[in-house]
Amino acid sequence: MQLEEAMSFVKDNVQRLLNTEDVILYPVSARSGLKAKLTAKSNVGKLNDLSSSGSHNGASSFDELEKFLFCFLDGSTIPGMNRMRLKLETPVGIAERLISSCQTLVTQDCRYAKQDLAAMNDIVYSVDDFAMDMETESLSCRRQTSSLVETTKSRVVELIKVKAKAEKLHLSLKRP
């Protein structure tokens, strides 16, 4: 009774949610189905009537679902082949779209990285040019400063000589 109520509830809600009248339910008990399969496997070669088993309803529902799935996905029929192709093509199609999207993003990131690299190379060349200009200017300033120091040094030496001569002259004039 509970099973019939549960099935009725599920069927009504599925029909309402999917807006369809064509709903087939397979109430299954995985435990009963497994137990029936194990019992059948252990009784291979023996005559065994599963209908005397208390789990027959669960096992037969599971068998019905299994038969439906095998028929639905049967590769030996055209509809079965189409269903299998659809089932297999769907994830492959999704994977192809994801790969294409990723490839587009990677290509775009690569293009941006190349642009950034070109900009950085321009900055490095500019800094190198500036450094060379500064070094050239620095050498020029050092030469000019060195020249000024030498000129000043020569003048100071000349002044010292002139002063020394002037002092000698001054001393010689003071002597009577």
- Burial degree of 26 (CB within 10 A; 0-12, 13-18, 19+): middle
Could you report the per-residue pLDDT of 24-57, keeping only the tens digit for each?
Answer: 888 888 788 788 778 877 776 554 444 444 444 5
Q: Which pLDDT does position 73 carry in this prediction?
A: 73
Q: Which pLDDT does position 58 carry in this prediction?
A: 57
Q: Which pLDDT does position 175 carry in this prediction?
A: 67
Q: Which residues of the chain have pLDDT under 70?
A: 44-59, 175-176
Q: Whole-angstrom Cα distance, residue 8 to residue 27?
A: 11
Instruction: Give Cα 117 distance to the centre of its chain.
Output: 21
Q: Whole-angstrom Cα distance, residue 28 to residue 78?
A: 28
Q: Which pLDDT does position 170 carry in this prediction?
A: 79
Please give the torsion angle defined by the CA atoms of residues 71, 76, 80 and 86, in that order, rounded to the nearest 10 degrees. 140
Instruction: Give Cα 111 distance to the centre of its chain.
Output: 16
Q: Which amino acid is at 171?
A: L
Mark residue 108 as left, alpha or beta (left: phi above 0; alpha: psi -120 to 50; beta: remaining): alpha
Could you report the per-residue pLDDT of 85-94, keeping only the tens digit for each?
Answer: 777 788 888 9
Token output for 170:
């001054």
